[in-house]
Amino acid sequence: VTARAAASDARLGAIRALLIDMDGVLVRGDQLLAGATDLLSWLERRGIGFRLLTNNSTLTPELNSQRLAGLGLTVPAERIFTSSQATAMYLNNHGVAGQSAYVIGEIGLRSALADIGLETPEAPDATDWVVTGLDRHVTYENLKTAALCLQRGARWVATNSDSSLPVEAGLVPGAGALQAAITATTGQKPGVIGKPEPHMLAMAAESLKVPPDRTAMLGDRLDTDIAAAAAAGMTSILVLTGVSNRADLSESAVQPTIVVEDLPSMMGAWPK
Ligand SMILES: [Mg+2]
């Protein structure tokens, strides 16, 4: 056992909560990845709390849970934390009940914002907030209204800043690409809640009542999952079944605490 392996062993042994990215970690497209089902029962047996964390703002936790169930993975909605929920929690902490927001986003974001009592008019002249996520039905009118609300003093919060999304056909515009149109218009930039910012991870660890230094983030992307863990002061585990590969790793300024090939090797690397 090398000194470096022993140090990783000690860090993993101290972990009481695991935050798990979904795409590229548990699932890829419509396929469950090896070890996904075993991982959740393995965590339960060890008494390690977990949350599934996704930057995807379009689905509610219930819809995410149904999607996973359709692939054969049972995860209760309460264990799933989306960037939309994190955004709603952030706004709720700012005491926004009764205030207004112009929203660009789908059901995942709209439903999370409805839960905190924020008014979300369809075509306002001015609002207290502009809240943006991915919206696959966005129109010029939507972008124009958001830009005008910002010019009239609204504060801007975004679920995440992913510029693109990988789908089978290639890369398609993400929430960050829509936001870029508003930034180009107004010169303003949103406060971002999702990964690579630390807010969402900090909220998830807090909900599990585990301090950041005993929490690990497991993800497949250096630029979001691993960067967010570093910003939140958490251990990070890069799994090589998704976006980032060994070549990316050797060129990256952001380095994970631990690198594993897949989920079975991650469970194998854990101290007994
Ligand atoms: Mg991922």
Distance CA 200, CA 159 (A): 10
Q: What is the pLDDT of residue 42?
A: 96
Q: What is the Å distance from ligand 1's center to 152 Cα?
A: 36
Q: What is the pLDDT of residue 165?
A: 87
Q: What is the Å distance from ligand 1's center to 250 Cα?
A: 19
> Exposed, middle or buried: residue 209 (CB in 10 Å: 0-12, 13-18, 19+)?
exposed
Q: What is the dihedral of CA 76, 78, 83, 86, to 10 degrees?
A: 180
DSSP string, 18-52: EEEE-BTTTEETTEEPTTHHHHHHHHHHHT-EEEE
Q: How confident is the model at residue 166 (pLDDT cuts 50, 70, 90)?
A: confident
pTM of the model: 0.94
Backbone angles phi, psi at 165, to 5 degrees: -125, 135
Q: What is the Å distance from ligand 1's center to 126 Cα?
A: 36
Q: What is the pLDDT of residue 40?
A: 95
Averaged over 111-120, what is the pLDDT?
Answer: 95
pLDDT at 1 over 60: no
Q: What is the pLDDT of residue 4?
A: 66
Q: What is the pLDDT of residue 2?
A: 61
Backbone angles phi, psi at 159, to 5 degrees: -65, -40
Structure tokens at 246: 């060994």
Selected residue with higher pLDDT from 271 and 35: 35
Catalytic residues: 21, 23
Q: How confident is the model at residue 5 (pLDDT cuts 50, 70, 90)?
A: low
Q: What is the pLDDT of residue 83?
A: 98
pLDDT tens-place string over residues 9-20: 788 999 999 999
Q: What is the pLDDT of residue 3?
A: 63
Q: Any long-range contacts for 169-177 (C-beta under 8 Å, 24+ apart)? A: 174/134, 175/57, 175/132, 175/133, 175/134
Q: How confident is the model at residue 169 (pLDDT cuts 50, 70, 90)?
A: confident
Q: How confident is the model at residue 106 (pLDDT cuts 50, 70, 90)?
A: very high
pLDDT tens-place string over residues 222-253: 999 999 999 999 999 999 999 999 999 999 99
Q: What is the Å distance from ligand 1's center to 26 Cα?
A: 9
Inter-helix orientation angle 140-151/175-186, to 10°: 50
Q: What is the pLDDT of residue 11?
A: 85
> Exposed, middle or buried: residue 120 (CB in 10 Å: 0-12, 13-18, 19+)?
middle
Q: What is the pLDDT of residue 168?
A: 79
Q: What is the Å distance from ligand 1's center to 252 Cα?
A: 17
Q: What is the pLDDT of residue 90?
A: 97
